[in-house]
Amino acid sequence: MFESIENLGMIEASAREFAQKHILPKVMEWDEAQHFPVDVMKELGKLGFLGVLVPHEYGGSGLGYQEYITILTEIGKVCGSIGLSVAAHNSLCTGHIMAFGNEVQKSKYLPLLASGEFIGAWGLTEANTGSDAMRMKCVAIKDGDHYVLNGSKNWITHGKSGDVAVVLARTGELLDSRGITAFIVERGTPGFRAGKKENKLGMRASETAEIIFEDCRVHESQVLGQVGDGFIQAMKVLDGGRISIAALSLGIAKGAYEASVKYAKEREQFGQPIANFQAISFKLADMATRIQAAELLTRQAADLKNNGKKVTEAGAMAKYYASEVCVYASNEAVQIFGGYGYTKDFPVEKYYRDSKLCTIGEGTSEIQKLVISRSILKEQ
Ligand SMILES: Cc1cc2nc3c(=O)[nH]c(=O)nc-3n(C[C@H](O)[C@H](O)[C@H](O)COP(=O)(O)OP(=O)(O)OC[C@H]3O[C@@H](n4cnc5c(N)ncnc54)[C@H](O)[C@@H]3O)c2cc1C
């Protein structure tokens, strides 16, 4: 079912080594300062981690989803924020251009994104339209051979530092699924600027900001695919993106679990390691079992994706389950650490804060259940 274990092992080791050496020492500093380390993203680009799924001919690593999951999990174990940024860059901006760009667009942007020369952003969400993205207000009006964009997008990963963004805007009627178009917009295009940067609970080193369009003229050659196909494209991009959030969730959950096992063996109360208390060891057993189940769901979705199968249901199941396990495991980890878990001296406090994003970004758990239930009921 899975790709070569040997190859996965090498990739896992390389991602782990990078994370331990270049991310771990600065994790809390970036978190405190809400600093998005662009230089680290550039280094990740040099290693091929920003173009994991991009074919070699476009300067990417040409790997599959199993390797992609492995990389995100290893980075997520050390820092959820960097994991989130790597996931958004690969799956959303790069993934959208890779899946729906024409030859000119792919040849121009994929090498820049895969190498890390360009950081990618992807704008679907608006202030008043999150889960209900189809009601978006951002418009693109045709004017000669250009489209004029007006409106704003919120919660955009790399909204300030991104060099290029894929932006979804309305070109047709409200609620018409064929009324939305995807555009590639480069930073520096007149009328395109970043707005407020969010001050977040967790994932603080992953930049999240508003992007604003004021009479921003975008040439029609920057349209991705056909005019009116944007919403359908976005849903397909999210199908793959959700597998990446599942992988990120797994990374955070595994990080919290591994720290908990170590701590439970070391911390003594009542003259013995707390791991000896069934109340603690059963927590570890539950964490391990749920993490394993989440990994199987995620790897299964990745396998379907690698084989070109539809992953709407499998991706939603993986994302839903893995993200809830991530929150569960991080919560239990803080409990196992007791008072120390509530401080910034131990890593579980940050896992706990970072974990919550996983049940929200790229579709909340409630929306995943909508997707899954619709799929199940359609089958009957
Ligand atoms: C750190 C971070 C990074 C992000 N990055 C990006 C990005 O790069 N690009 C991008 O486009 N977006 C991004 N987002 C936005 C994210 O995808 C949205 O926050 C998410 O889709 C939820 O939308 P919302 O926040 O508007 O919540 P809402 O849609 O307002 O939901 C509020 C609550 O209502 C529930 N709800 C809504 N509709 C239903 C329904 N029909 N049935 C049951 N329950 C429902 C939700 O599950 C939730 O619990 C990011 C968000 C965060 C926090």
pTM > 0.95: yes or no? yes
At 7, is the pLDDT very low, low, confident or very high (cuts 50, 70, 90)? confident
Query: What number does CATH give the domain 5-119?
Result: 1.10.540.10
Q: Is 332 a catalytic residue?
A: no
Write the pLDDT tens digit of every residue in 178-202. Answer: 999 999 999 999 999 999 999 999 9
- Contact yes or no for 274/336 (Cβ under 8 A): yes
Domain with CATH 1.20.140.10 in the chain: 231-379
Rounded to whole angstroms, the Cα distance separating 343 from 368 reads 33
Q: How confident is the model over 76-85, as a mean pLDDT? A: 98
Q: Does the C-beta of 360 come closer than 6 Å to ligand 1? A: yes
Beta carbon of 83 within 6 Å of any ligand 1 atom: no
Q: What is the CATH number of domain 231-379?
A: 1.20.140.10
The verdict on the CB of residue 51 being under 6 Å from ligand 1 is no
Across 239-243, 319-323, 375-379, least confident range: 375-379
Q: How far is the CA of 301 from the centre of ligand 1 (A)?
A: 22
In a mutational test of the pocket of ligand 1, which residue from 96, 125, 197, 208 has the highest number of ligand atoms less than 8 Å from its CB?
125
Q: Each residue of 275-290: pLDDT tens digit?
A: 999 999 999 999 999 9
**Which amino acid residue places its CA nearest to atom 23 of ligand 1?**
130
User: At which residue do the structure tokens 């995620």 appear?
Assistant: 298
Q: Which CATH number fits domain 121-229: 1.10.3720.10, 3.40.50.300, 2.102.10.10, 2.40.110.10?
A: 2.40.110.10
| Cβ of 203 below 6 Å from ligand 1 | yes
Ligand 1: distance of its center to the CA of 133 in Å?
9
Where in the chain do CATH 2.40.110.10 domains reside? 121-229
Q: Which ligand 1 atom is nearest residue 206's CA?
A: 1
Residue 200 alpha carbon, nearest atom of ligand 1: 1
Residue 224, pLDDT > 70, answer yes
CATH 1.10.540.10 in the chain: give the residue spans: 5-119
Catalytic pick among 32, 186, 362, 366: 362
How confident is the model at residue 1, as a pLDDT? 39
pLDDT at position 2, please? 45
Q: How far apart are CA 97 and CA 200, in angstroms?
A: 28
pLDDT at site 144 = 98
